[in-house]
Amino acid sequence: MTGLLRVLAVDDVRPALDELCRLLRDSASVGSVEAAGDALTALRLIQSAVLDAVFLDISMPGMDGLELASLLGRMTDPPVIVFVTAYEEHAVSAYGVGAVDYLLKPVSADRLTAAIGRVRRVIGHDPGPGPSAVVDALAAVPVELAGRTRYVRRADVRFAEAQGDYVRLHTRTGSHLVRIPISRLEEHWRHAGYVRVHRSFLLAVPAVQELRSDVSGGLLAHTDAGDVPVSRRHARELRDLLLEAATRGDFEAGGPRRRPGRV
């Protein structure tokens, strides 16, 4: 083993904090475990100690876990963030502030081991299978609607449209608004064939059926979920990606994603 992790556990509920610390100390990959019962105490510990990762509750009085994670993101060399919470609806926001994993309580030893493995890969202690192990955390995106949580599969999303701090995910059957910056979504989905084609649009390359010109001479990528504007600076890259995808046969599966038309 290259090195043992130095971690901080943060939870305002004492029994939950004690259990999390116990699980972390039982891990063969963890060397030291600090504990904090609130975000401000955690922030002081992070500023005064060298830590590899913070296992962080979200719902806490005062400063919550998402706010603390946003502050840590401004540090030069912040610890890796893993959220530990009872509420799955915060998942997209959690990944939006850079978390590498999202654990639901009660946390099992196996699930914690997987999260620790991701932490080790991120900080370079374990090469692992590569960066896709982290970014695939958003292979399905939870969407809140009328008090219910449904999951939109990345494979069903033809394109994503930025709307402030949110993105609207467009699928063949409808659209879904989720809170995550488009730049963060691009980071997570780049490996899966999604490319930025406009300041406000992220496009699934295999979803393109043809390229069209609009009334003003601009370029549109046509999908079965609608047309996506392509800026001039991204047009050449998209054409090259479409050619590469066609050469690999990426358009042969997936029904309406078969072949780009006029490229």
Q: Which CATH architecture has domain 5-135?
A: 3-Layer(aba) Sandwich (3.40)
Sheet of 53-56: strands edge to edge?
30-36, 5-10, 53-56, 80-85, 101-104
So what's the pLDDT on residue 259? Answer: 38
CB 79 within 8 A of CB 8: yes
Least confident range of 21-35, 63-77, 187-201: 63-77
Kindly report, residue by residue over 172-209, the tens digit of the pLDDT. 999 998 888 888 888 888 888 899 999 999 999 999 99
- Residue 87 has φ and ψ, to the nearest 5°, of -120, 110
So what's the pLDDT on residue 20? Answer: 96
Cα distance between residue 191 and residue 48, in whole Å: 36
Between 126 and 226, the more confident residue is: 226
Pick from 1, 17, 88: which is nearest to 55 by CA? 17
Residue 91's pLDDT band (cuts 50, 70, 90): low
Listing DSSP states for 172-211 in one string gives TTEEEEE-S-HHHHHHHHGGGTEEEEETTEEEEGGG--EE
Q: What mean pLDDT value characterizes the chain?
A: 83
pLDDT over threshold 70, residue 105:
yes
Q: Which ranges in the chain are annotated with CATH 2.40.50.1020? A: 150-257
Residue 136's pLDDT band (cuts 50, 70, 90): low
Between 194 and 132, the more confident residue is: 194
Count Cβ neighbours within 10 Å for each residue of 15-51 and write b for 16 or more, e otherwise.
Answer: ebbebbbebbeebebbeebbbbbbbeebbebbeeeeb
Structure pTM?
A: 0.52
Average pLDDT estimate for 216-233? 92
Tokens linked to 232: 């001039």
Q: Which CATH architecture has domain 150-257?
A: Beta Barrel (2.40)
Pick from 167, 137, 143, 171: which is nearest to 155 by CA? 171
Kindly report, residue by residue over 146-180, the tens digit of the pLDDT. 666 677 888 899 999 999 888 999 999 999 988 88
CB 262 within 8 A of CB 197: no
Q: Which ranges in the chain are annotated with CATH 3.40.50.2300? A: 5-135
The DSSP symbol for 89 reads: G
